[in-house]
Amino acid sequence: MLAKRIIPCLDVKDGRVVKGVNFVNLRDAGDPVELAAIYDREGADELVFLDISASYEGRATMVEVVKKTAGEITIPFTVGGGISSVDDMKRLLRAGADKIGINTAAVKNPQLITDGARRFGSQCIVVAVDARFNPAWGEWEVYTHGGRNGTGIKALDWVQEIERRGAGEILLTSMDADGTKDGFDLKLTRAVSERTSIPVIASGGAGKKEHFYEVFSEGKADAGLAATIFHYKEMTIQEVKDDLRGKGVEVR
């Protein structure tokens, strides 16, 4: 079994890291370049940088911030937000990103997943899936534009298409759990992990060290992503890893 990864997430808006609850009520959490350097030193396995308002505002990801961040870190670095073409991907990879995260553009044009995987390799393409439980369906629905727009697409169908089209990884965010600190959405994470054979990064809801153990053991996730608890120093990456090792989970 592959070692589990712990990944901090930098949600960036107007050049600052922000964090909210259920995708709203955002508050400032610091400078992305400074935070990235801290997480690299503290033992993060990877870093995810999401320009959360780029798709909604219809603009490209902030290349200069990506360049500066990449210059400060040695760990793999995924960048997403406002990426709508293979040229956008190339620009960010040249700026220092190791992987590209796509969400809204992938839903609008699934061929982008295929084209990106063919051009840069599957390992480079991470498809972010923002999902919320739809009671009428008894299943989860995919949302786009930073969680603003419902798509009518069932998340479990969509993750299978993502894999078919050659993506290397899924970044799965539960909108219901996001920022609540009540724990990852284990039902959603497990359902997605069992539908696909590519790695699933679970996101949304981490509040205690135990939540990471749960998402790996019960949710079958390959990586756990968190923002609030790390940004506001509620716990360190090392504390999470020590707890997991103590419970017999292999971490990097």
Catalytic residue positions, numbered: 11, 130
What is residue 217's three-state secondary structure? helix
Q: Which of 61, 70, 142 is nearest to 108 (CA)?
A: 142
- If one counts every other C-beta atom within 10 angstroms of the C-beta of residue 175, the result is 19
Amino acid identity for residue 143 in this structure: Y
Q: In the Cβ-directed half-sphere of 185, how many Cα atoms lie within 13 Å?
A: 25
| Most distant CA atoms of the chain, gap in Å | 47
Residue 127 zone, left/alpha/beta (φ > 0; ψ -120 to 50; rest): beta
C-alpha dihedral, 25 to 171 to 89 to 104, nearest 10°: -60
Q: In whole angstroms, what is the distance from residue 163 CA to residue 186 CA?
A: 21
Cβ(169)–Cβ(199) below 8 Å: yes
Q: In whole angstroms, what is the distance from residue 25 CA to residue 88 CA?
A: 29
Classify burial at 66, counting beta carbons within 10 Å of its beta carbon; exposed 0-12, middle 13-18, buried 19 or more.
buried
